[in-house]
């Protein structure tokens, strides 16, 4: 079975490790290059994207991560992890770095300051039943490059039409936190992507 790493310098690492382990893959925390080297795929969790980028620099993981991502390692970013995979940030913190790889522009904290979190049901490409999506100070995707596919879009309310899940080849990202639920379909979708690659 494949080994899937979870970027573990910052963020909600444990929930991803638990869910991946339940699915039956080998899941390991990634804090150093020796751990990254063992991975067939990587999850970048939710957390705080500016802190993640700085810590990745400090622990000399930034460039090795970029190399693996560019080299085709399947990678799944959730929330802050989506921001980390985005090529461009709208209204990003001054000089905020991302690993990039996904040809998307994201807007951080897009759902408004007062709306720290909300949840709702979301149709997800290829799933029979909607996903219960939890958003916590979430980004949305402002713009998609060619070759990037939207997997889920907010269906109602003020944010209707906003794209909150994307995929391009070996990379995927969600604005929401699929790891907080018992629903493991989004993680299975990613594990399939790892198995296929
Ligand atoms: N607002 C956070 C950021 O910009 C992301 C929030 C999250 O991951 N729950 O990094």
**Distance of alpha carbon 4 from alpha carbon 188, whole angstroms:** 12
4 is in an annotated binding site: no
Ligand 1 pocket check for 6: Cβ under 6 Å: no
Quote the ipTM score: 0.95
Which tokens hold the place of 124?
A: 């997800």
Q: How many domains does the chain have?
A: 1
Encoding tokens for residue 70?
Answer: 């560019």
Q: Is 116 a catalytic residue?
A: no
Residue 107: CB within 6 Å of ligand 1?
no
Mutate to test the pocket of ligand 1, among 11, 137, 140, 178 (most ligand atoms within 8 A of CB): 137
Range of the structural domain that residue 136 is part of:
3-196
Only one residue has tokens 């993680």, namely 187
Contact 52, 8 (CB under 8 A): no
Predicted pLDDT at 92: 66
Beta bridge partners of 6: 29, 43
Report mean pLDDT in 10-residue bins for the chain, 197 residues.
97 96 97 98 97 98 98 98 96 84 95 74 96 93 97 91 97 94 93 96
Predicted TM-score (pTM) of this structure? 0.96
pLDDT attached to residue 180: 86
Q: By alpha-carbon position, which residue is closest to atom 1 of ligand 1?
A: 137
User: The domain spanning residue 173 has which CATH number?
Assistant: 3.40.50.880
pLDDT at 94: 73
Distance CA 142, CA 95 (A): 19
Q: How many CA atoms lie less than 13 Å away from 144 in the CB half-sphere?
A: 18
């Amino acid at each position: 079975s494949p080994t899937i790493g979870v970027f573990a310098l910052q963020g909600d690492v444990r929930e991803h490790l638990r869910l991946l382990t339940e699915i039956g893959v080998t899941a390991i925390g990634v804090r150093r290059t020796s751990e990254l080297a063992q991975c067939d795929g990587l999850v970048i969790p939710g957390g705080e994207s500016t802190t993640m980028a700085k810590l990745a620099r400090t622990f000399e993981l930034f460039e090795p991560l970029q190399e693996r991502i560019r080299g085709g390692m399947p990678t799944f970013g959730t929330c802050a992890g989506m921001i980390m995979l985005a090529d461009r940030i709208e209204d990003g913190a001054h000089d905020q770095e991302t690993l990039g790889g996904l040809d998307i522009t994201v807007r951080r904290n897009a759902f408004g300051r007062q709306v720290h979190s909300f949840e709702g049901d979301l149709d997800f490409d290829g799933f029979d039943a909607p996903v219960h999506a939890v958003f916590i100070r979430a980004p949305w995707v402002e713009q998609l490059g060619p070759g990037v596919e939207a997997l889920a879009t907010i269906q109602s309310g003020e944010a209707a039409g906003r794209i909150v899940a994307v995929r391009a080849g070996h990379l995927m990202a969600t604005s929401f936190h699929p790891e907080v639920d018992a629903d493991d379909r989004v993680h299975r979708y990613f594990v399939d992507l790892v198995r296929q690659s």
